[in-house]
Amino acid sequence: MRKTLAVLMMAGSLTAAPLGAMAGTPAAAPAAAGKSAKAEHATTGTIKSMSDTTLVLTTSNKKHHEMTFQLDPAVHKEGAISTGSHVSIRYRNDGDKHVATAITAHKA
Cα within 13 Å of Cα(102), Cβ side? 7
**pTM of the predicted model as reported, rounded to 2 decimal places:** 0.63
Q: What is the pLDDT of residue 72?
A: 87
Per-residue pLDDT of the chain (108 residues; tens, 9 = 90+): 566 656 656 666 655 555 555 555 444 444 444 444 579 999 999 999 999 999 999 998 878 799 999 998 899 999 999 999 999 999 999 999 999 999 999 986
List the one residue out of 67, 66, 58, 64 whose CA is nearest residue 86.
Answer: 58
Do the strands 97-106 and 66-70 form a parallel or antiparallel pair, or are they unpaired? parallel
List the one residue out of 40, 60, 58 whose CA is nearest residue 49.
Answer: 58
